[in-house]
Amino acid sequence: MAVLITGGAGYIGSHMALALRDAGEACVVLDDLSTGERAAVPDGVPLVVGDVGDAALVLRVLAEHEIDTVAHFAARISAPESVRDPLGYFAANTGKTRDLLAAVVAAKVGRFIFSSTAAVYGLNPPTPTAETAACAPGSPYGVSKLMSEWIVRETSAAHDLACVTLRYFNVAGADPKGRNGQRAAGASNLITVATRAALGLNPGLSIFGANLPTPDGTGVRDYIHVSDLADAHVAALAYLRGGGKTVTLNCGYGWGYSVKEVVAAVRRAAGDFPVREAAARPGDPYVSIADASLIRETLGWRPRHADLDQIVGDALRWEKSLWRPGRKTAGAARPAAMRRRAS
Ligand SMILES: NC(=O)c1ccc[n+]([C@@H]2O[C@H](COP(=O)([O-])OP(=O)(O)OC[C@H]3O[C@@H](n4cnc5c(N)ncnc54)[C@H](O)[C@@H]3O)[C@@H](O)[C@H]2O)c1
Ligand SMILES: O=c1ccn([C@@H]2O[C@H](COP(=O)(O)OP(=O)(O)O[C@H]3O[C@H](CO)[C@H](O)[C@H](O)[C@H]3O)[C@@H](O)[C@H]2O)c(=O)[nH]1
């Protein structure tokens, strides 16, 4: 038995590959390397370079590696980009999820884990947000994921296929042992931007909205450590192999931090860095916090790295380890400590 990880050369999928390898589980990665990197795939895990929409390739991989479960991470992930290219997102995310499922059903693979997002809930969900909340995605990206969820659900109902859909809240941090982390130079998520700013790799941080209707005026998010998220996938795999039924589960902790609280945590870990207040991003929810009770009940999952200082510390250590002379991020100005490392 082995797990196929689509998108396993990307940020989250590669952490799952690491978690499975650490647990002694066989797995194989299928990734077209459009945003992922070969180096993110852990040593000893086979990488097949190709498209999840290539049915012949997928069928071959499913058979050759005796796959019993597919974990489908591969996707395009930028909400602003999806506003400019909705049809591209529906093709890449929704269309290819459909094509992958067709291969999975044809090959009689009985288990599927799908990467969805809190973005399906949209702009003003009740908080904390339970899985039963109405879905009203605020971007084509969110729509592409919600449509994929429906395809997963209907396919599961019609075929011998049990599926766990995981709706991730804000994924952050890096492998606590320093083996892996966010590699995308253009990553725009708060904790990556703030840690890179603290290291002088970009000119500073803009706080998008400082007068929002929240306790300190800045946006609040439920940040989940990427290794806890990988563990949730390992727990979902055990649940499915134990005969668990199709279910949709939030992945978050059930509490949130504001942008200012995240800035304070990064400053505690790395010292001061420039921060300015800017206009709120159109379409940003003010608050996004999971009701995380169902995943605990259903999978028995318990987070191990939920402390914000650990999330920030792991991200920071990873960013430092990535730094090398000539590495480019926006407006890089190298701090003295890093200039010394270069010489
Ligand atoms: N990062 C987050 O905060 C977040 C939040 C919610 C949900 N998600 C979901 O988690 C999943 C993984 O996100 P990530 O942050 O690791 O993104 P990522 O861009 O780092 O990883 C995606 C991977 O998929 C690969 N890929 C894309 N299209 C492909 C295709 N057609 N065939 C084969 N490989 C393909 C890319 O090369 C990349 O390695 C996505 O489905 C995303 O929607 C991410
Ligand atoms: O430079 C920045 C970046 C972010 N923020 C703020 O920090 C918070 C978090 O923003 P992120 O960009 O890190 O994450 P989002 O909440 O916008 O979105 C993330 O989580 C969503 C789920 O809720 C989707 O999955 C989406 O794909 C994923 O990027 C927000 O209040 C945002 O306005 C800033 O102030 N400055």
Distances 172 to 11, 187, 304 between C-alpha atoms, Å: 10, 11, 14
As a whole number, mean pLDDT of residues 264-275 equals 98
Distances 82 to 31, 75, 190, 283 between C-alpha atoms, Å: 20, 12, 19, 13
- Residues in contact with ligand 2 by the CB-under-6-Å rule are 77, 79, 117-119, 169-170, 188-190, 193, 205-209, 219, 221, 259, 281, 284, 288
Give tens-digit pLDDT for 272-314: 999 999 999 988 899 999 999 999 999 999 999 999 999 999 9
ipTM for the whole complex: 0.98
Q: Return the ligand 2 atom nearest residue 205 CA.
A: 1
pTM assigned to the model: 0.95
- Report the nearest-CA residue for atom 13 of ligand 2: 189
Q: Give the pair of three-digit tokens for residue 130.
A: 């339970």
Does the pLDDT of residue 138 top 50, yes or no? yes
Please state, in angstroms and rounded to a whole number, the distance separating the CA atoms of residues 261 and 268: 10
As a whole number, mean pLDDT of residues 331-335 equals 37
Please state, in angstroms and rounded to a whole number, the distance separating the CA atoms of residues 251 and 324: 34
As a whole number, mean pLDDT of residues 193-213 equals 95
Does the pLDDT of residue 329 top 80, yes or no? no
Q: Is 121 a catalytic residue?
A: no
| Centroid of ligand 1 to alpha carbon of 292 (angstroms) | 22
- In the chain the domains, ranked by start, together with CATH numbers, are 2-173+223-251 (3.40.50.720), 190-221+255-287+306-342 (3.90.25.10)
Asked if the bond preceding 215 is cis, omega within 30° of 0, the reply is: no
Q: What is the pLDDT of residue 342?
A: 32
Q: What is the pLDDT of residue 330?
A: 36
Mean of all residue pLDDT scores within the chain? 94
